[in-house]
Structure formats: C-alpha cells, structure tokens
Amino acid sequence: MTKIAIVGGGASGSLCAIELLKNSPDVKVTIFEKNKILASILPTGGGRCNLSNFIVDNVELAKNYPRGEKFLYSVFKRFDVPQTLEYFKKLGIKTHKDASGKVYPASNSSKEVQEKLLGELRKYKNFKCIKKEITSAQELVEFDYIIVAGGSKGAYELALDFGHTITPLKSALCGYITEEKYPSGVSITIGDEPLLFTHKGISGPYVFKLSSLWAYKEYPFTLNVPLFNVCTLKDEIQKNSKKEFGTILGNFIPKSLVKEILEEEIYHKKCAEISNKIINEIKELKFTVLEPDKVGETVKAGGVDLKEINNNFQSKICNRLYFTGEILDVDGLCGGFNLQFAWSSGVLAARDILKRIS
Ligand SMILES: Cc1cc2nc3c(=O)[nH]c(=O)nc-3n(C[C@H](O)[C@H](O)[C@H](O)COP(=O)(O)OP(=O)(O)OC[C@H]3O[C@@H](n4cnc5c(N)ncnc54)[C@H](O)[C@@H]3O)c2cc1C
C-alpha cells in the first residue's frame, strides 16, 4: 500500500483524493483538514458554486489568470474545462452555464457539490480524513507521497518548512477601503461591470477585477472612475435644454449619487445652462485607495513559487512532495477560474503519483 497524505480537504485536495482512490486499490489516502472537509466551497459563487468557466480555448482560458498564465497552458492542455465538466458529471454533478459562460451545478447549490464529493470519498475504505492542522514536514514522515493543498489560509508555514519559497502574498478579488465615501449600498455600472459603494469604500465586480490586476500596486493610489459617457450625456442635455440638469443626470447615475456630487444650485440649473467645464468636473469620481479590504478577500495573489514545481505539480526540492490549488502562485479573475485551477491541479497531481506508483 502506498501511503498518501493530503494537507487540506478543500477543492483541490478532495478532487486529488478522489482521482487517487478511483484509480488504484493500492493507495491509502489520508486528508488532514484543520476545519471541516469541503467547507471551503460552501460560500463559493454566493452559495451557488461557480465551479468553472466555459472557455474551451485553453490559451483564452489562461488569460484569465493574472498570475500563472503561461504555466497554465500545459495544465489545461491535460485537464481542461470540458474534461472537468465530464468528470463532475460522472460524479453525479450535472452543470449548466449562464450567458457569460460561468458554470454552476445544475442545482445551483454548493451544498450539493460538497455532498456529492464527500459521498464519493466515503465510498473508499482506504480513505480517511483526520481533523488536524499540519504545520511541519516532520508530522508527515510516515507517508510515501504528500500533497499540500492548503489554499490561501494556513499551509504557507508548511511549504516553508519543506524548503519552498513563498512569493509576496497580497489580497486579490476584494473591495477597497477609500478615503472618500459615497452612499453605502448604491451601485453604478462601468462598461458592463457594477461598482458598489460600501461603508468602507468601494466593492463589486469592477473593483474585484482591478484588485486582482493591480494586486502588487503600492498603496495609497488614486483611482478615477468614469461616471457616464460624456457624449451621450451631452446629447441628452441638448435634447432636454429646458429641463433641470439634476433630473437628466439622474437618468445616468443613481439619484442619491447625483445629490451627492452636484451642488444644489447646479442640480436645479436648466440643461441649457450647463457648460462643458461643469461636465468635466463631474464626469469622474476620484478615489484615494488606502488599502485592500481584507475582510472580503476572495483569493490571495502569491504563494509557492512556480519555479520550484514542475508541470505535474511536483516539488523540485522534495521528491515526493506536491502542491495544488491556491497555495501556488496562481490566481484567477472572478468567474469560476480559481476553482477550475483547483480541480485541474488536484487531478493532474494525482495522475502523476498514480503513474509513478504503477
Ligand atoms: C467567499 C468566497 C467565494 C468564492 N467563490 C468562488 C467561485 O464562485 N468560483 C471560484 O472559482 N472561486 C471562488 N472562490 C475561490 C475558491 O474558493 C478557491 O480558489 C478554491 O477553493 C481553492 O481551492 P484549494 O483547494 O486550493 O483551497 P481551499 O478550497 O481553500 O481548501 C484548503 C483547505 O485546506 C485547509 N488547510 C489549510 N491549511 C491547513 C493545514 N496546515 N493543515 C490542515 N488543513 C489546512 C483549509 O481549512 C481548507 O479546507 C471563492 C473564495 C471565497 C473566499
């Protein structure tokens, strides 16, 4: 029997265990999980589990990872989105995609995904899950292979103990704490991405994307957010020259925000009296971004240095050690990309181990 330890029973650790157990009766798999197994997927996709994104061109798919893009070409070549969805189907999890390509379980329930994966694991007598936090390599000496799948909350210490380097860790896919505050709960749309005002600053998909692309930007910095299309507003002003400016602007941005950014006098002016200077003064909201809002952080940029692992997720430092999922220096944008990487890395690491022991 080959004894395999998996540190972390989240998305990638669990799928790695399933792949090992399904394909070999000669492995004994132990997951060490400090919390509850697969609890990490329950809040994903707002409880709906946005488990992937239906992009079949792997180069296009990899573009959605601000960290790890090139490394992922070979990963997705061997375990891509259609293969992932087929894998889930075989585990009894049917999926559907929305208009933007985001993939969810047909039940729209993270709980169902958790239950089905857990149900699969429990089928195997040579599987066990131990509730324990692993902090040192020493605790795992009895195992033939070790997979560290600790996500972004906890196993970095262990990776360091194995002699690996952790690239600087930064919050990504999170809101921003800003100096300027606008009515909390109100949102505007930039392009097709919503930005939400919060009591701490700004959040929502537009900000999440920025926080990922700019994860390594120095704080504080200035962010100018366009409020409306200037040409379209000018057209409306011309068409409604006798109407109150504040009312017309309210057709472009929420009324509570109009009241916040316009002085009373300008609000009540007729459109014909509105100069280009006034429009230029209000066309953008300027924010001083103080820091990321760590409370709402979805993923971490940074992690185990990709230079220190091969494309089978095996450590170049320790022969029988693997890293999968978010603990690696790979992170994706919103839309199912982070879970997709967790699944792909978990399965491919398992396949490499199976090849080595067969
Ligand atoms: C609120 C929220 C919503 C999200 N929604 C989505 C979404 O819809 N789509 C998407 O693609 N991504 C989403 N993500 C990101 C996604 O959940 C993660 O990228 C993904 O779960 C990473 O998988 P993983 O297996 O690497 O880590 P995790 O799933 O986080 O699992 C790691 C596990 O390891 C355990 N652990 C850590 N250290 C130790 C240790 N030393 N010893 C023992 N156990 C340990 C943890 O308790 C955890 O259970 C979301 C994240 C959050 C926080």
Buried b (16+ CB within 10 A) or exposed e, 49-64: bbbbbbbeebeebbeb
Given the DSSP bridges, would you call strands 145-148 and 2-7 parallel, antiparallel or unpaired?
parallel
Q: What is the pLDDT of residues 315-349, one digit of tens each?
A: 999 999 999 999 999 999 999 999 999 999 999 99
pTM: 0.96
Kindly indicate the confidence band of residue 203, based on its pLDDT and cuts at 50, 70 and 90: very high
Instruction: Tell me what pLDDT residue 155 has.
Output: 95
6 against 192, higher pLDDT: 6
Ligand 1 atom closest to the Cα of residue 37 is: 49
At residue 15 the predicted structure's pLDDT band, cuts being 50, 70 and 90, is very high
- 228-282: CATH class: mainly alpha
Distance between CA atoms of 256 and 133, rounded to whole angstroms?
Answer: 48
Residue 199: is its pLDDT beyond 90?
yes
CATH 3.50.50.60 fits 2-171+298-357, yes or no: yes
Which atom of ligand 1 lies at the shortest distance from residue 152's CA?
30
Q: Partners of 141 in the beta sheet? A: none
CA–CA dist 89, 74 (Å, integer): 24
Residues in the chain: 358
**Own/partner long-range contacts of 56-59 (Cβ < 8 Å, ≥24 apart):** 56/80, 56/81, 56/82
pLDDT of residue 351 exceeding 90, the answer is yes
123/221 Cα distance (integer angstroms): 52
Express each pLDDT in 55-97 by its tens digit: 999 999 999 999 999 999 999 999 999 999 999 999 999 999 9
268, 274, 276, 281: CA torsion to nearest 10: -10
Q: How far is the CA of 151 from the centre of ligand 1 (A)?
A: 5
Residue 153's pLDDT band (boundaries 50, 70, 90)?
Answer: confident
**From 36, 130, 339, 348, mutation site for ligand 1 pocket: most ligand atoms within 8 A of C-beta:** 339
Q: Rounded CA gap, 49 and 38, in Å? A: 12
Q: Is 337 left (phi over 0), alpha (psi -120 to 50) or beta?
A: alpha
- Dist CA 328 CA 289 (whole Å): 27
Q: Comparing 192 with 164, which gets the higher pLDDT?
A: 164
Q: Which residue's alpha carbon is nearest to atom 5 within ligand 1? A: 44
Question: pLDDT class for 296, splitting at 50, 70, 90?
Answer: confident
Report the pLDDT value the prediction gives residue 280, as an integer from 0 to 100.
Answer: 95
User: In the chain, which residues fall in CATH 3.50.50.60?
Assistant: 2-171+298-357
- What residues does CATH 1.10.8 cover in the chain? 228-282
Please give the distance of CA 75 from its chain centroid, rounded to a whole number: 18
